[in-house]
Amino acid sequence: MSILVIGTRAPDEYAALERELAGEHEVVVVPDAARGRMMLGNPDWALVVLDDGEFVRRDVLDAARDVPVVAVLARPTLEATLNALEAGVRDVQAPPLRADRLRDLAA
């Protein structure tokens, strides 16, 4: 199964995730939500990571359908976290992304 990362915040961090998860999950990184939505037509996603900074994109959540979405919020305040969870994300993370956490969520 693969993990789709939508974002441009941390290319080095994404490369580290690819290395750490190699052999378990393919990590595919796309720079924007439009490309991410197109990629979500593939049924093999185990997890979508929306690393878009401050808010959760409803269009990505809708396109993800049954695939769990993790939101990475630059400042995960209580209000922002609750808003993201109410919007339908499975989990909220603060940067930096951790491979072990994504591995658990993708299982």
pLDDT at 106 over 70: yes
The mean pLDDT of 87-94, rounded to a whole number, is: 92
Give pLDDT tens digits for 9-61.
Answer: 889 999 999 999 999 999 999 998 889 889 998 778 999 999 976 567 788 88
Query: Letter for the amino acid at 51?
Result: D
Percentage of the residues of the chain whose pLDDT score is greater than 70? 97
Query: Predicted confidence band at 65 (pLDDT cuts at 50, 70, 90)?
Result: confident
Inter-helix orientation angle 11-21/99-106, to 10°: 60
